[in-house]
Structure 1
Amino acid sequence: MANDDHGSRPRPRRRKYLIFALGLTGVLGLFAVLYLIGGQGGSAQSLGPKSYSTHVECQVNTAGSKGTVTVSGTITGNATRYAVTVEVLDAASHQRIGLQTFEVRGSRTFGGTTAAQAPIGPAGIECKITKVA
C-alpha cells in the first residue's frame, strides 16, 4: 500500500444527502400543513370573479347638524358571501357624506343606518355601491 498514489477509498458523503432529505421533508410538511389549514377552515377566498346584481336605496333623516342615512339593498349572484360598500353623496355637490360596508351572508338583503355629515343640500342625497367583494 505504500506505493498506492490514490490512498484509501474516501467514505461516501452522506451528509449532503441527509441535509437534502431533511429539507425536502420539511418543505413537504409545510405544504401539507398549509393545505390542511386552508381546507378545514373553509375561509379561503375564491380566486375567480363574483357575478352579481345589486340594487340600493337610501333615505336621509336630519336633525340640526346631525344626520343619519337608512340604507336598504339587495344583491343576487353566484357567491354565498358578499361585502357591499355603499357610499352616500350629497346630490348637488357630489361630496361624500357617509360610507358603510355591509356583510351579506346567506340572505340576499342588506341594510342599516349610518351617520351622515349634515347639513344636506336641497337636492338630497345619492347612494351608490362602490365596491363588492
Structure 2
Amino acid sequence: MPTHEWTLADDRPGMGGPRKGRKALIAVLVIVGAIALFVVLRPFAPGLGEQGGPKLGHRTYNAKVGCQVDSSGDSGTVTIDGTISGDAPHFTVTVEVLDAATKQRLAVRTFEVRGTTKFGGTTPAQAPLGPAGIECRISKVV
C-alpha cells in the first residue's frame, strides 16, 4: 500500500514538474537579455549605427570631392579638390578616380588632412578615358 508521500506526488508520464517551467523561464530570460544587449550596444558597433552621416568611430564628418582631367594620348593627369570637416583634428582621405561609363579605376590618391579642411593635388591616370568622362569618389576615411 502506498504511503501518503507517494499519493501526493504528481508523477504522471509526460509531466516535467517544476523544473520544466524553470528551464523555459531561463531560456526566455537569456533571449530577452541578448536582444537588450544588442539594442544597447548597437550605436557603438561600426556599421550598425543610425543611417545619418558617415561615421569615424564615434565622430562624424562631412566630405566632398571633385576632379578634373587633362589627358593627351595614353596619359592623363587628374586634379583632385576636396573638403572634409568633422570632429577629428586630422583625417586620411582616399580618393578613387573612375571612368564614368565603365566604373574602371583610373587612379587612387590618399591625402593626409591636418589643420585644414581642404585637400587636393594631382595624380597620373590611366588613359584613354571614355566619352562619359571621369568620376571621383571618396573610398575611405580614417
The count of residues paired between Structure 1 and Structure 2 equals 87
- Within the candidate set 106, 118, 127, 2:136 is matched to 127
- Within the candidate set 68, 73, 76, 1:67 is matched to 76
Gaps of 5+ in 1: 1-46
Matching of residues 1-133 of structure 1 within 5 Å: 48-133=57-142
Distance 2:61 2:130 in 1: 32
One-letter code of the match for 1:110?
A: F
Distance 1:106 1:96 in 2: 30
Tell me the C-alpha RMSD between the 2 structures: 1.2
After TM superposition, the score normalised by the length of structure 2 is 0.59
Distance 2:91 2:83 in 1: 11
Distance 1:57 1:48 in 2: 25
What displacement does 1:124 show? 0.2
1:53-86 deviation line (CA, Å, top 9, x unaligned): 0000000010111101000000010000100000
After TM superposition, the score normalised by the length of structure 1 is 0.63
Gaps of 5+ in 2: 1-55
In structure 2, the partner of 1:41 is none
SS class of match (2:84): strand
Distance 2:118 2:57 in 1: 23
